[in-house]
Amino acid sequence: MKHLLATAALICAAQPALANRVFVTNERSNDITVLDGESFEVIGTYPAGNRPRGITISPDGTELYVCASDDDLVRVFDPQTMEELHTLPSGPDPELFVLHPSGNPLFIANEDDNIVTVVDTKTHQMLAEIPVGVEPEGMGVSPDGSVVINTSETTNMAHFIDTETYKITANVLVDSRPRFAQYTADGSKLYVTSEIGGTVSVIDPSTQQITKKITFDINGVLPEAIQPVGARVTSDGSKLFVALGPANRVAVIDAATDEVTDYLLVGQRVWQLAFSPDEKYLYTTNGNSNDVSIIDVAANEVVRSVPVGQQPWGVVVAPD
């Protein structure tokens, strides 16, 4: 009987219903828009608490985590039904978080309080509070799960946090208002975007040294409008995509040389990015035009834009 149930569960999990669903947080309309990753149609819109921003999903696709910034907690949803399952303590004003590759724990940046909160996703208990710089925001994790990166927007550092001891092991000074930290899949490089500095720092995680700064130059766009925020790199390490905020473009970067190869025009104030599980598509949240742009990764082309809620902020795609 037990065996049968387990089989049944496996069959359920294997159904394509959830796979490739796209979840978008809408900061102003306080909801989540769910898109079908095949047809790009809107499946539905669901309440998400107050000021939903950061969003991520468990590796097994069973729990969807949302930073409800103005509720001072993380809401956890069933991605299938969009029912709220429970909440997690997060500390005040959670903005972005990163899940350990194993699915536990969750590392949350608390922007108002200069701390990173560590929460156990199984027991729902707070494990630690780690003091970091002023206005912690970006959160990244090394592929092996041993290091979490937090960026602090006013201190302008990437803090390296040991995930065993919860202690800071290194601080790397980067350009103004660092927003996002993204490792390559092989762990050899760490990219940190700087919104006001207008650059992406390429950091060697083994030495914690900046090896290169990627800069951007777009014809007809004022340099001040180029504000790097979200960043994603393909798992083969070949292409880095960087959202450039009010420049309304996503930069395509050859991740082997870290040189910009293209700029793709998307919606207004492009903020965060997420790949489909097969990395065929990249989804962008466009906060001022209230839509999502869909980029064909191989072709470097924007293929669709889909209206969502008010001020879309974060995006995640369910795993296969």
Q: 24 near 285, Cβ under 8 Å?
A: yes
Q: Which of 46, 62, 100, 129 binds other proteins (CB under 8 A)?
A: 129
Q: Which of 166, 213, 234, 279 binds other proteins (CB under 8 A)?
A: 166
Does residue 37 touch other proteins according to CB under 8 A? no
Select 1 or 222, whichever has its Cβ closest to other proteins: 222
Does residue 209 touch other proteins according to CB under 8 A? no
Does residue 229 touch other proteins according to CB under 8 A? no
Min. distance of Cβ 129 from other proteins in angstroms? 6
Binding mask 243-262 for other proteins (x = CB under 8 A): ---x----------------
Q: Which of 43, 128, 221, 302 binds other proteins (CB under 8 A)?
A: 128
Select 63 or 113, whichever has its Cβ closest to other proteins: 113
Does residue 127 touch other proteins according to CB under 8 A? yes
Min. distance of Cβ 281 from other proteins in angstroms? 29
- Report the C-alpha gap between 21 and 114 in whole angstroms: 33
Min. distance of Cβ 248 from other proteins in angstroms? 13
Does residue 54 touch other proteins according to CB under 8 A? no
Does residue 72 touch other proteins according to CB under 8 A? no
Beta-carbon contacts of residue 96 (< 8 Å; ≥ 6 apart): 53, 54, 67, 108, 109, 137, 138, 139, 180, 314
Binding mask 77-116 for other proteins (x = CB under 8 A): ----------------x-----------------xx-x--
Q: Which of 50, 62, 146, 171 binds other proteins (CB under 8 A)?
A: 171
Does residue 162 touch other proteins according to CB under 8 A? no
- Report the C-alpha gap between 291 and 266 in whole angstroms: 9
Select 92 or 143, whichever has its Cβ closest to other proteins: 92
Select 43 or 221, whichever has its Cβ closest to other proteins: 221
Beta bridge partners of 108: 97, 117
Q: Which of 153, 239, 247, 294 binds other proteins (CB under 8 A)?
A: 153
Tokens at residue 54, please? 């950061």
Beta-carbon contacts of residue 318 (< 8 Å; ≥ 6 apart): 18, 19, 20, 21, 22, 23, 37, 57, 61, 79, 277
Tokens at residue 112, please? 């108002």
Does residue 207 touch other proteins according to CB under 8 A? no
Does residue 134 touch other proteins according to CB under 8 A? yes
Positions in the binding site for other proteins (CB under 8 A): 93, 111-112, 114, 125-131, 133-135, 152-157, 159, 165-168, 171, 173, 176-177, 196-198, 222, 224, 227, 246
